[in-house]
Amino acid sequence: MDYEAQLKLQAHLDGELPEDEAREVTNWLARDREAVALYGELRNTRQALVGHEVGVSLPESREFFWSKIEREIRLLEPPETSVRPAPLLSAWRRWLVPAGAVAAVASALLVGVFGETRIATVETAVDDPAAFTYHDYSSRTTLVWFSYPADEDPVDRTPGTVE
Amino acid sequence: MADKDYSSTDDPTLVRKAQRGNMAAFEELVARHRDKIYARALSMMRNEEEATDLSQEAWVKGWQRLKQFQGEASFGTWMTRIVINLCLDQLRKQKRQRAESIEEIDEESGGVERQMPVVTVNPTAGLERLELRQRIDQALNQLSYEHRTVLVLHQFEEMEYKQIAKTMGCSIGTVMSRLFYARRKLAALLADLKKRDEG
């Protein structure tokens, strides 16, 4: 019996042959004792392995095994980066105070218009948007408006800083 | 507050809860399927410590990939595929690290199984379950990892030839040859063990 024929017997046992080839092998088994013997051996081996894994138990307790898995999962998970939302008062202050400064400058502008005062410049420091500088050259007045308390470090109010 | 008891919750519900981050639900899934996953790893690795470590790794990977599980197969089947792939990676790494024995080279070059005499008497007939398992374990230990893996994937994982070929990265012809060799070798080894016990 050649090797290809032996492999065909195995494929027939495993249900891997198309219908017409399976029929051929069935007819062959009906007349060839050597083929029947080999087929029998393959079938016995396959049968011996059925249920081989049934009853195999992991040799660690449920709790211990789980504790290892849980620890590894927690180690691999990225740490939570929580950004606490700014308190409401702080959020209002950030918006309201610069708005108030703008309103103050606008009022000064209006006074200047109606009081016939020429306004030279209104500046805001790029690095500190909460500070306004107002120059009035005619009256030689400079007004600098800080929208945060004097004892607070302006660096702390950089947008995006976690408080 | 005591943990909720999920022992009577079905697998699909547990999976959904675990996918939403419920670790207690995942722990129940681990408890239910851990023996099956371990048994599959043990069949492939033939070493209890390695099988335990790879099972643990499979469960961690299962947690990480849980959102990808869509229910196309059962959860148990999905997990066994994870552990099988981990075992295959480990076996390939081990093979690269060690020299092949002469027997393994003979196995791979093929031909030996074509000359083996046919075992006509069933070598496992009359054996108690435990004794049969011990003999099969002894015989499986003597196969190379390629031959044992094909046997495990076909016999225990119930994969078709085509699926095994894809999993192992080889041709269907190679799968058939390795499976044939593994079965014939197993039959011969079991027959030898039987003779030794009777003699």
**pLDDT tens for each residue of B134-171:** 888 988 999 988 999 999 999 999 999 999 999 999 99
Q: pLDDT digit string (tens) for B106-124?
A: 555 556 666 677 876 676 6
Taking contacts as CB-CB distances below 8 angstroms, the residues of chain A near B179 are: 10
Q: pLDDT digit string (tens) for B26-69?
A: 999 999 999 999 999 999 999 999 999 999 999 999 999 999 99
Predicted confidence (pLDDT) at residue B97 exceeds the cutoff of 80: no
Residue B109 parent element (H or E):
helix B102-109
Structure tokens at B165: 């070929």
Q: pLDDT digit string (tens) for A16-50?
A: 999 999 999 999 999 999 999 999 999 999 999 98
Strand partners, A133: A123, A144
- Averaged confidence pLDDT in chain A: 76
Instruction: Give the mean pLDDT of A134-157.
Output: 63
Pick A16's closest partner by Cβ from B119, B161, B190: B161
Q: Are A6 and B180 a contacting pair at CB < 8 A?
A: yes
Q: What pLDDT, on a 0 to 100 scale, did the predictor assign at position B130?
A: 81
Pick B124's closest partner by Cβ from A42, A48, A66: A48
Q: How many C-beta atoms lie closer than 10 Å to residue A54's C-beta?
A: 11
Contact between residue B176 and residue B164 where contact means Cβ atoms under 8 Å apart: no
Q: Are A49 and B155 a contacting pair at CB < 8 A?
A: yes
| Whole-prediction pTM | 0.71
| Helix locations, chain A, DSSP H | 3-13, 19-29, 33-49, 62-76, 88-114
Q: What pLDDT, on a 0 to 100 scale, did the predictor assign at position B134?
A: 86
Structure tokens at B41: 């790893």
Q: pLDDT digit string (tens) for A48-88?
A: 998 899 889 999 999 999 999 999 999 988 776 655 555 66
CA atoms within 13 A on the CB side of B103: 9
Q: Cα(A157)–Cα(A110) distance, rounded to whole angstroms? A: 30
Taking contacts as CB-CB distances below 8 angstroms, the residues of chain A near B23 are: 70, 73
Q: Are B156 and A45 a contacting pair at CB < 8 A?
A: no
Among residues B55, B33, B31, the alpha carbon closest in space to that of B43 is found at B55
Residues of chain A numbered 69-98 and touching chain B (CB < 8 Å) = 69-70, 72-73, 76
Pick A46's closest partner by Cβ from B38, B119, B155: B155
Instruction: Give the mean pLDDT of A2-9.
Output: 93
Domains of chain B: 1-98 (1.10.1740.10), 112-199 (1.10.10.10)
ipTM for the assembly: 0.86
